[in-house]
Structure 1
């Protein structure tokens, strides 16, 4: 994709927008549990929107129990509702499939994307002293998966895919205990999914030497997830790129949101994205190329912005 760089401080011609877009606009941003990195991202977006619009956009971050709940609430919420979810869940909701079977609603067809946010990125973190450098080496080791999370479910899936089912010991503990358990030698490694750089992986790498396992192209293909590269130097002691998988995530609204507000939210996000990246490294990997992970329609207001700055959109986005 081609993206024309926006210079910081570029003047905006106010007449391009309806006057109501520059009055105070209030938006509810529903993301994840308050203890998660995605809730923290929501707070950062709220701050960026306020700063980038001189206080004309006020975002209230609302805690959520997960992406499915976020999508379900799109049925009843108004034009001020922004929520985060993997694009794949929007497709399932619109098709009435999987967790949305029997729960279909015409409102799901009105969901529209705004912009991508950091992806859920798989990390297989092994203590260096365990000697594990690839998945085959995990045989006979003790791994902490946690429970109930995307990372736990995905980690279990990968152990089966890569021939390790029944060949590793699954630690009976919560993921919140992973770093201390790794440091104390109670486990050989843990699996976590979060935006990179993941805080718990940073903490683990800072407290004890670790290897974050890289996947082969065949393993990535078998996972049926999106390939992602964690650049060398992201974590302490990491001197090479890590190939892993990810689940893309994006911010969505519905057609109840007016075009001017969707335009302003999208424009402000991208114009403040560099500053977001300076404040938190997980924003640095977000680029317009990630719009290719969105397979459903983009809000017309956001489309207007992307066309202005030269981002090429697909037919599915229109």
Structure 2
């Protein structure tokens, strides 16, 4: 091979290697851990990953990892390095910071490095009843046959509310998994079921599409008594429910650690909020995210996220700084 040709090939190869290296340096990879495949929160991870890719022109790539739950997500802070983003209810972060609850036996100074970024759709309580009233009160469940499920957040909250408001002895609780709720309601085997998920939740949409339903709306006093976060399900979210429904929810937050650099945290936070409306057009549950939900974050915000909120004039509690 002539030396000139070899020189050209060597130059081209060097340019290709250099371009590949430059692209590798320009691309920031972030591990995102939320939930197990097939769940709503894993699907949210897929949607968020695509939104971040589009919003950053591929400069930040979210790599999804399956998870066995929020406790595992927080526990992995002990071993994770670099850009680790995970989702969890803020109450678990409070426990990790205090070395309590699930973290009492496995404490780590790394938990003090947890930093908040932005809220994602909350786990919202739905009390779904047969009937075309649209919006009803909690007392209207009296003498009803209700399926609340078992072993889930929604089941525990439902039982807590029924007991708190003196309804546990005035209703008949069905012994079945929550997955059978919609069919059991449509078949007349039960009068109501309780489910907890981001709204609009598929099993409620499915039920409302085939029969008239009503949703329980709690009073301000009842919501305050539960000690849970208030959540409004806007009227029109479900067929036949034209008025707003006031209920409660378990906030869920996207967290990272102080190992993430400020620019990456800033860009993730900015891109999330800038793409929120576009995501909501594709999947309605993103439409329920508001700036007020930032106040649900436990611990403190990442400095990069603080920079974004300050730049855009979004009020954040001083305790989160």
Question: Hey, what does 1:185 align to over in structure 2?
Answer: 188
- The 5 Å alignment of 1:33-182 reads 33-128=36-131, 133-182=136-185
SS of structure 1 residue aligned to 2:57: coil
> What is the Cα deviation at residue 157 of structure 1?
0.7
> SS in structure 2 opposite 1:205?
helix
Larger-gyration structure (1/2): 2
Q: Deviations over 1:150-176 (max 9, x none)?
A: 111111111111112233222222222
Q: CA deviation at 1:131?
A: 11
Pick the aligned partner of 1:251 from 224, 239, 254. Answer: 254
CA contact (8 A) 2:52 2:268 kept: yes
Q: Which has the higher helix share?
A: 2
User: Alignment partner of 2:314: what SS?
Assistant: coil
Partner of 1:299: 302
- Aligned-residue offset at 1:132: 9.4
For the residue of structure 1 that corresponds to 2:214, the secondary structure is: strand
SS at match of 2:136: coil
Distance 1:140 1:87 in 2: 35
| Aligned counterparts of 2:232 and 2:25: Cα–Cα separation in 1 | 39
After superposing on structure 2, the runs of 4+ consecutive aligned residues of structure 1 that deviate more than 6 Å are 19-22, 129-132
**TM-score (norm: length of structure 1):** 0.89
Indicate if the aligned counterparts of 2:218 and 2:247 stay in contact, CA closer than 8 A: yes
Note the alpha carbon deviations across 1:56-101, whole angstroms, 9 max, x for none. 2111222222111111111111122100011121111101122222
Partner of 2:212: 209
3-state SS, counterpart of residue 284 of structure 1? helix
Unaligned residue ranges in structure 2 (runs of 5+): 1-21
Residue of structure 1 in register with 2:274 after alignment: 271
Aligned Cα root-mean-square deviation (Å)? 2.0
The separation in 2 between residues aligned to 1:69 and 1:201, in whole angstroms, is 29
Q: Deviations over 1:214-236 (max 9, x none)?
A: 01112111110011211111110
User: Who is 1:25 aligned against?
Assistant: 28
Distance in 1 of aligned mates of 2:171 and 2:307: 51
- Pairwise CA distance, 1:317: 1.3
Counterpart of 2:301 in 1: which secondary structure? coil
8 Å contact kept, 2:138–2:216: yes
Instruction: Give the alignment's TM-score, normalised by structure 2.
Output: 0.89
**What is the match of residue 230 of structure 1?**
233
Query: How many residue pairs were aligned?
Result: 300
Measured in 2, the distance between the counterparts of 1:300 and 1:21 equals 25
Could you tell which deviates more after superposition, 41-50 or 142-151?
142-151
Q: Deviations over 1:171-223 (max 9, x none)?
A: 22222211111111111111111111111111111111111100111211111
Q: Which residue of 2 aligns with 1:6?
A: none
Report the CA distance shift for 1:131/1:317 in structure 2 as closer, same or farther (over 3 A): closer
Gap regions ≥5 residues in structure 1: 1-18
In the superposition, relative to structure 1, how do residues 204 and 181 fare at CA in structure 2: closer, same or farther (>3 Å)? same
What is the deviation of 1:130? Answer: 10
Change (3 A) 1:132 1:285: closer
